[in-house]
A and B are shown apart, each in its own frame.
Chain A
Amino acid sequence: MKRTGNLFRIWDIAILVVIFSTVAMFFCFHTYGEGSGYIEVSVNGEVVLKTSADGVYPVVVNGKRLLSVVKDGEKVRVEDSTCPLKICEKMGTVGPGGVIICVPNKVVVKFVHTNESVDVMTW
């Protein structure tokens, strides 16, 4: 049987549909940034900093400063990273629910939603 070089066959479209619907579902169920929260900085999977206060926090491991985490209200960003490509700095600022990852330094900065933010009280 001679194989034709079709660009698309029916299964291709099926896969595409599956991928896009999966992604669409992710966005549908994804929570929107709510407001208050705290940041959690982990190095190598280990949480080294957990705070809800604004400020500049240097992340130091074994006496070596890797980068600085800047929390400013609803935003958090990374500054002065020692990694070569500075991708984490280029990620800019993220809000609650967001995450900044610096792969070379193995640093993950998470802006965690606070669940204790009560919508309404029963009394």
Chain B
Amino acid sequence: MRARDREILLKLNKEVLWLFVTGSVVVATLVVLFLLRTPPSYYEYNGFTLGTYCRIYVSSEKINSKSLAEMLFTELDRIYKKYNANDPESVLSKINVSQDWVDLDEETFVLLDAALKFSNMTEGAFDPTLGNLIHLWGFDRLDEQDVRVPDSSEIEVALLHTGYKNILLDRQKRRAKLLNGIHIDLGGIAKGYALDRVYQIAKEVDPDCTGFVEAGGDIRIIGPKFGSRPWVIGIRDPDDTNECVGYLYLDSGAVATSGDYERYFIVNGVRYHHILDPQTGYPARGIKSATVVASTAVTADALSTAAFVLGGKNWEYVVLDFPKSGGHVLLVDKDRNIRKSPSLSVYEADR
């Protein structure tokens, strides 16, 4: 009888051990599930750079969200200063004033190369060499006083000093030369590039960080909201600041919009906006806004400008052909018709 008692005791001890182990596991799991479930907190940083209003909205569990946001803003500002055509000290100005080959740093070379790639892709609808035209129209000036519509003869002269084919890139020696006195203006791509850079930096610092960065209506998603939900992006109604013509749900990638309401002046009841048609030298007509969703902000930024320019002439081409280059388009034309790529529907459904 004693032997059996001991046997039972031994058995009970084993059982108690088992209970303890499973009990602790269950309790630990519950603690993780119920108590440590604090939603990630986002830090919002607002600042003025890239010639516009920028908003950084990030959350990181690895480093302080605030310092991450500040780090990203510093990067935006660095790129703005480097490629600001109005600043005589900027890298871009040095290229613009030089009559000869200019040695480029790798970043600038890659950026120019990307810009030319989009110019070729869109057959010049996106053109980074409109510096002279933009200056003539006065869209490079911050003050919008004494604006005037240039004479057609002036525009014709300025058009002679534009054209992306006048940029020569020397791959071997990593240098560039501008022909025909053209001036580069990277306004249509620098924002996108800055946003993509910021994305890379954020992911290098913390691969799991989430949020988005916005620079003047162009948005680069860093990661899904709270790690799981898409961000809800409203497409602004061209005629009403507070209304939306549509919603997009993005958990990655980028979106950019070009609109005739961003920078413009009105003379004799005609609106002259800042998106110039490289062929005519006049503001592109027919479209009120062009929104492009793409996997990178550079693509979205460059293609939204191209979509705006081409959309007034041949919207079918823009809507159906741009997706092949990775840009999914939504156009609002002058009669408020909305034309969009069939592939855009992927981003319009709230998953």
A residues contacting B by CB (< 8 A) are 7-8, 16, 20, 23-24, 27-29, 31-32, 115-123
Question: How many residues of B are counted as interface, with CB atoms below 8 angstroms from the partner's CB atoms?
Answer: 37
Q: Please state if A121 and B244 are interface contacts (CB–CB under 8 Å).
A: yes
A-B CB proximity, top 7 nearest: A123-B217, A118-B234, A123-B236, A32-B39, A122-B257, A119-B231, A121-B234
B233: interface (CB < 8 Å): yes
- Beyond the given pairs A119-B233, A122-B256, 16 more chain A to chain B contacts, judged by CB atoms under 8 angstroms and listed by A's residue number, are A7-B18, A8-B18, A23-B33, A27-B33, A27-B37, A28-B228, A31-B226, A31-B228, A115-B247, A120-B214, A121-B217, A121-B233, A122-B235, A122-B255, A123-B216, A123-B262
The complex places the Cα of A31 from the Cα of B15 at a distance, in Å, of: 40
B291: interface (CB < 8 Å): yes
B328: interface (CB < 8 Å): no
The complex places the Cα of A13 from the Cα of B55 at a distance, in Å, of: 49
B331 CB to nearest A CB, Å:
13
The complex places the Cα of A29 from the Cα of B234 at a distance, in Å, of: 24
CB-defined contacts of B228 to chain A, threshold 8 Å:
28-29, 31
Between A and B, 12 residue pairs with Cβ closer than 8 Å are A8-B18, A16-B22, A31-B226, A115-B232, A117-B232, A118-B232, A119-B57, A119-B212, A119-B225, A121-B234, A122-B257, A123-B217
The complex places the Cα of A116 from the Cα of B214 at a distance, in Å, of: 19
Q: Which of chain B's residues has its CB closest to A8's CB?
A: B18
Partner of B212, one of A23, A32, A116, A120: A120
B residues contacting A by CB (< 8 A) are 15, 18, 22, 29, 33, 37, 39, 55, 57, 212, 214, 216-219, 225-226, 228-229, 231-236, 244, 247-248, 255-257, 259, 261-262, 289, 291, 350
CB-defined contacts of B231 to chain A, threshold 8 Å:
119-120
A116 CB to nearest B CB, Å:
8
CB-defined contacts of B256 to chain A, threshold 8 Å:
122
Q: Which of chain B's residues has its CB closest to A26's CB?
A: B33
Question: Known: A123-B236, A123-B257. Is A118-B33 also a contact (CB below 8 A)?
Answer: no
CB-defined contacts of B214 to chain A, threshold 8 Å:
120
Q: Please state if A122 and B350 are interface contacts (CB–CB under 8 Å).
A: no
Q: Which of chain B's residues has its CB closest to A115's CB?
A: B350
Partner of B233, one of A16, A31, A32, A122: A122
CB-defined contacts of B29 to chain A, threshold 8 Å:
20, 24
The complex places the Cα of A24 from the Cα of B29 at a distance, in Å, of: 9
Q: Please state if B229 and A120 are interface contacts (CB–CB under 8 Å).
A: no
The complex places the Cα of A120 from the Cα of B55 at a distance, in Å, of: 9
The complex places the Cα of A29 from the Cα of B251 at a distance, in Å, of: 14
Q: Which of chain B's residues has its CB closest to A117's CB?
A: B232
Q: Which of chain B's residues has its CB closest to A33's CB?
A: B39
The winner among A117, A121, A123 for most chain B CB atoms within 10 A is A123
B320 CB to nearest A CB, Å:
21
CB-defined contacts of B232 to chain A, threshold 8 Å:
115-120
The complex places the Cα of A8 from the Cα of B231 at a distance, in Å, of: 45
CB-defined contacts of B244 to chain A, threshold 8 Å:
118, 121
CB-defined contacts of B55 to chain A, threshold 8 Å:
120
CB-defined contacts of B350 to chain A, threshold 8 Å:
115
CB-defined contacts of A7 to chain B, threshold 8 Å:
15, 18
Partner of A122, one of B15, B219, B229: B219
Q: Which of chain B's residues has its CB closest to A24's CB?
A: B33
Q: Please state if A122 and B226 are interface contacts (CB–CB under 8 Å).
A: no
The complex places the Cα of A29 from the Cα of B146 at a distance, in Å, of: 56
Q: Which of chain A's residues has its CB closest to B29's CB?
A: A20
